Amino acid sequence: MEMGSYNYKMFGFFNRKFKFSETEPPSDVKEAFARYSVTGSHMSADQLLRFLIEFQGEEWCTLSEAEGIIHEVINRRHHLTKLTCHGLTLEDFFHYLFFDDLNAPIESQVHHDMTAPLQHYFIYTGHNSYLTGNQLSSDCSDVPIINALQRGVRVIELDLWPNSAKDDVHVLHGRTLTTPVSLIKCFKSIKEHAFDTSPYPVIITLEDHLTPDLQAKVAEMAIQTFGKMLYYPESGCLEEFPSPEALKHQIIVSTKPPKEYLESKHVREKGNASPGERDSSEEDLAVELEADERNYSDQDDEDSDTSEQKSGPLGAPEYKRLIAIHAGKPKQGLKEALKIGIDKVKRLSLSEQALEKAAASHGTDVVRFTQKNILRVYPKGTRVTSSNFKPIRGWMHGAQMVAFNMQGYGKSLWLMHGMFRCNGGCGYVKKPDFLMKGGPNNEVFDPKVAQIVKKTLKVKVYMGDGWRLDFSPTHFDSYSPPDFYTKVYIVGVPLDTAKKKTRVIGDDWTPVWDEEYTFPLRVPELALLRIEVREHNVSEKDDFGGQTCLPVSELKPGIRAVPLYDKKGVKFRSVRLLMRFQFV
């Protein structure tokens, strides 16, 4: 490790030295080097290849790749472009293991089967994607939409409202103080940035509060902006969802189709009301739902499922044609809506509370529904600060679109980031087979049934480094080096949930813990490994020192460099842990 010292002058009376002593490689690293280097002084490309295949489990690694690693490490450490020695010393080898771009904990490329129908995937989904902050008074902008797309989010939600003159379309959170952004600006930004980080389709979910004339205007905007990027189903309503592979570089619109006729007395009575009066807000209905559990029907389905969209006999045919994924609400109760004996596939939206209630009463019906259709789960309306809920309940019931406030904060968002580090960060994660297939008697996965342990994960936390490079010398403590400890969590089905904590290492910028933990896992396919480093304070709340979340199903075995992120999910430049993962 690169070491040095800082001088700190306090009140002009004394100098305090923050010293960094040279950190030795952990004993496991020394033993691995001794085992594979043979001579004990240098590890050749052949020997490194053996280490990568046998110890790190990288069975497909080649000799040329091992040679490339050696060349890169020597160049970084010694600034030599021409190798004078064709091998790694123990120190070189130690540094190599700490380079997270060369020795990452998970696969960085797309490697899941991308040819199955859309409902076979968890899809990275945003909620109120246009908000810059809280749900009540923040500005609406295309900037958070761009940020979400560049993070890999594949589902963007837009709330559509008439402007004051009723001649244009604004995007804003209705009945709040949020300032609007124009729909055309959002569309143009989506077109420009949709495929910055992933080639797989972007789905735009619309919460529509528009008249037929404005719906027609939306259709015109979309057609002119996206052109050939727009996906149109040939039949007007899909009988089967296409695959992410088949929909590469395409834009898909999802909302409730406009009504063809004013068939509802409720609509006739309220036909002259303003959109804001006609439609109950997500927040209002969330409160109603908590007070009245009416069949779990979740009448606060925000994606225009409560909108009594007015359409004349001709409606807005261009707009209707745009809608590739039809959304709907449970009209006769959720249990009825979950019946899968339908000839067309659809999307259903539920609030987090409605899913919780449905999961408690008929969870297997939810799972069965998601084997053919798409289920979207969104935050309850009382989350006005743009906080989020724990996503695992949605995932273990097969919900493809667990919608999150990506502009928000907190540990739940870290879990979302972790799940969608899967599959090269492309925004589509293949669901486990047990969520998509029935058993011999057509039974489906029941999250409430206790499973047997499938595999056991052993996690060893060796050490950490990089804080002295990314933080000021006095960030954690004005008078001494920091006192770091690491917390290790398993987040998954209830019986898999676990938490461990290392001891505190005092006064050290490069803490060495060398502690190992064992986690028996019943549903490893849905488990996430959440890691958080904190700095111990006696009199105050412990300081945050970094975090990450990794999908257990994607963990590479062996000794790995694990980069850490700040509270917002932005990767630190230098902070990382050295860890070992083993499946037994």
Q: Which residues are catalytic?
A: 127, 173
284 sits in which H/E element: helix 282-291
- Quote the CA–CA distance of 448 and 438 in Å, as a whole number: 16
- Quote the CA–CA distance of 154 and 198 in Å, as a whole number: 9
- Quote the CA–CA distance of 509 and 18 in Å, as a whole number: 9
* Cα 424 versus chain centre, distance: 12
Best CA proximity match to 486, nearest among 457, 468, 453, 508 = 508
Do 62 and 50 contact (CB within 8 A), yes or no? no
Task: Rounding to the nearest 10 degrees, give the CA dihedral for residues 313, 316, 317, 323.
Answer: -130
Give percent helix, percent strand, percent coil of the chain, each to the nearest 5.
30, 25, 45
Start-to-end Cα distance in the chain: 31
Beta strand 401-404 pairing with 498-501? unpaired
Burial of 584 (0-12, 13-18, 19+ CB in 10 A): exposed
Structure tokens at 298: 């979740």
212 sits in which H/E element: helix 212-226
- Quote the CA–CA distance of 219 and 394 in Å, as a whole number: 32
Other C-beta atoms closer than 10 Å to the C-beta of 28 total 17
Do 243 and 115 contact (CB within 8 A), yes or no? yes
Angle 525-528-529 from CA coordinates, rounded to 5°: 130
How many C-alpha atoms does 542 have within 13 Å on its Cβ side? 15
